Amino acid sequence: MKRLAKRFGAAVSAAAMVFTVPVLAAPAAEALPDGLALTPPMGFNNWNTTGCKIDEQMIRDMADIFVDKGLKAAGYQYVNVDDCWAEKERNAEGKLEGNKLTFPSGMKALGDYIHSKGLKFGIYTSAGTVTCAKTMPGGLDHEDVDAQTFADWGVDYLKYDNCNNQGRPALERYTKMRDALKKTGRQIVYSLCEWGDNKPWEWGKDVGHLWRTTGDIKDNWSSMLNIVKKNAPLAPYGGPGHWNDPDMLEIGNGGMSTVEYESHMSLWSIMAAPLLIGSDLRKVSKENFEVLLNQEVIAIDQDAKGVQGAVLSQKDGHWVFAKPLAGGDVAVALFNENTTSATIGTNVAALGLPRSAGYSVRDLWKHKTYQSAGQISALVPAHGTAMFRIKAGGDWLRHEPLVGAGLEFAATASGVPGDLVPAGKPFEATVSVTNHARLPVLSPKVALTAPAGWKIEQLSRPRKWILGADESATGRWRITPPAGTEGTVTALHSETQYDTLGFGRVKQSGDSPVTVPAAPPSGSAYASDLRWYAEKNGYGNIERDMSNGSIPDKDGKPLTINGVRYAKGLGAHAPSELVFYTGGRCTAFSTDVGIDDEREPANLRGSATFEVHTDGKKKVDSGLLTYLDPAAHLTADITGAQYVKLVVTDGGDGNSYDRGDWAGAQFTCK
């Protein structure tokens, strides 16, 4: 709830003060673990879908849906009420009370109803004087009375936020509530919603059962991806009874595609994250319910071994996560953060599996088992994740061969999507079949068709008719979009087929979108007025004519570098990349660059380097700039360039407050 705290101006920034306070170990006599949360908690929290617009009927409805829609059976059990549930003042006894308008039956009655469904009841407060929304008292210096009140109501889970904390050390505040909860004698799962400001993963194991590692998630791709990048390196700190918490699931809120929500569910599960649904279950589509109810993926999250999956590799936005499981299996997530499909893979040796004649590979989204000789790969769609459970030996020979098949585009330049295809200019694509199994694959065939009017020429055909383990059959084509297609999005259609021994002929087909960029501008044009075709950004989205702000779109401030304001430009945040199509028709790019003044007063930091690339080669850079420096002026000769990429690095010291502005950025074209 960190974002809301900023919006209301309610949070007292304690980071600078807390970082100077030694982080001591929690007192051993009260320290966890205590046998709770041996697997990551699963349930619901209303905040991301309702904010303060919450009442007891909505929470009762969620409990009913848990039972009726199979969520309870799938393992979801906590029904949690977030901020704004209480009266604005404590009662005469100094106790919290439910809001009489929105929770007229009282919080104990609500808890009783949830318990009657065989579920568990969760509640919220903040380790400050008031909560983040400033609608109710916080728990600071009222830990004992609040903990006992919660226990009397039958609370099973407490989310303890970090707003309005008066600058007091996080360890002190969170430990006091831990001790108060333990005094009640009731088993209550304790969630430290500290936002990762004071590295709770280093001390939270003795204090709580889970701790937030980041600020609040938002229902968009950029937010989800940024959180993955912050939470993934913390794998060594998670385990039974002490979990890294990258915040709620946004699945069902509507801001991402089904493929992106599947990635969200896969990545949270491979990272052994708490699975707390943050959407209004009364409005969630059948398709999104299927994502939430994928019990094979949930089983990875809830595995008894309790290991957070680690990143085996990450290059150019292609990720491989691996998570060892109880019983010796290994779960793998192949994640593609980019906007173009790509083949991503690993092998059983890298996964730490023992040598075997063969391996069973269970696809957790297709719900189908394959055999492999040891290589694991998939053609992963844009923003998609392929997830597998791999077992050495066993009945692997009974299963169909694992085959990677589909369409890929040849790369044009670093950072430029292969599916960006200018009119009148040929590009290449391949369709391939790759066998990863012991059993051979026979008679592979590949085909590719383009939209009517497009020129397509096959350059090579598959030459192998029998594919052994890790052998491929590939066709290659040259395709040219015709004039008149500028500014359109269409698709290429690929087909693959092959024979398998004992499993018949397998046919697959699919459509891969391609974008024909609009014609470059004529004369002079501000970059913020043009369309860009690829974007990566370290925090939220790149903004037009305002600073980067936070996660939501259009939440920045006027572009300002060391006190100088700019009406036009781009607000980015390191690490960042932005690709424009110039089609050989532009001659120059000019801009002022620097660290934007948008930061909290206590956070005097921010450094970055700004680079201009043409067709994959760096043309000019700013050198290192810090928040103390005035804007630097850059000009680049981009004559003949097809693509211009604007890059902001993090300066080599992490990317905190590295809001980098391309101020007055302008192209000069013919």
Residues taking part in catalysis: 161, 216
Which residue, among 237, 260, 274, 429, has the nearest Cα to 342 in the 3D structure? 429
Q: Quick check: 394 and 432 in contact, CB under 8 A?
A: no
Phi, psi dihedral angles at 67 (to 5 degrees): -80, -45
Determine how β-strand 385-392 pairs with β-strand 359-363.
antiparallel
* φ, ψ dihedrals at 204, nearest 5°: -70, -20
Token pair listed for 517: 């960029």
**What angle do the packed helices 170-184 and 143-153 form, to 10 degrees?**
40
Secondary structure of 426-483 in HEC code, one letter for each residue? CEEEEEEEEECCCCCEEEEEEEEECCCCCEEEEEECCCCCEECCCEEEEEEEEEECCC
Cα–Cα dist 316/53, whole Å: 41
Alpha-carbon distances, residue 129 vs 111, 141, 332 (angstroms): 25, 8, 44
**Separation CA 422–CA 519 (nearest Å):** 9
Question: CB neighbours of 366 closer than 8 A, spacing ≥ 6?
Answer: none
Cα separation, 587 vs 604, in Å, equals 38
Beta-sheet strand order (sheet of 441-449)? 466-467, 441-449, 488-500, 504-516
Token couple for 160 = 């303890």
Distance in angstroms (rounded) separating the CA atoms of residues 337 and 383: 5
Question: What is the C-alpha separation between 409 and 1, in angstroms, rounded?
Answer: 41
CA distance 175 to 188: 14
The terminus-to-terminus CA distance of the chain in angstroms comes to 49
Helix (H, G, I), strand (E, B) or coil at 67: helix
Whether omega for the bond prior to residue 104 falls within 30 degrees of 0, making it cis, is no
DSSP letters for 607-623: EE-EEEEETTEEEEE--
The 3-state DSSP class for residue 243 equals strand
CA gap 340, 107 in Å, rounded: 49
Q: Retrieve residue 575's tokens.
A: 């690490």
**How far is the C-alpha of 41 from the C-alpha of 239, rounded, in Å?**
12
Beta-carbon contacts of 532 under 8 Å, excluding residues fewer than 6 positions away, are 542, 578, 579, 580
Give the pair of three-digit tokens for residue 268: 């949270």
Write the single-letter amino acid at 90. Answer: R
Here the tokens at position 449 are 């068709």
